[in-house]
Structure 1
């Protein structure tokens, strides 16, 4: 499972980010479904911007 939190209105990934957290399973389909249905905003109790770089956590692009 991956943890996300809101930082200055943006969705960020990380276990150590402070505040309320939202979790998804480790598949890209779960992440996309959560974005499409507004589940991050609901879980984090506020609007959050979801940057395209977060999809790279699942696809492995941009690493190494």
Structure 2
């Protein structure tokens, strides 16, 4: 019974991490569909990183 007290917070932590993982664009098509653009290594000032287009390019959005 003691292990349930340790297992329950771990389960909630895993659910919280998995909840937002599907919202970010994971490829170039999804990035363009969400009105963003792909940039290599970083986004310029008014834009922030919203996801990934490929290994070294990121999806930038305002």
TM-score class, shorter-chain normalisation, is under 0.3
Bigger-Rg structure (1/2) = 2
What TM-score comes out, normalization by structure 1 length?
0.27
Higher relative contact order (CA 8 A, sep 6+): 1
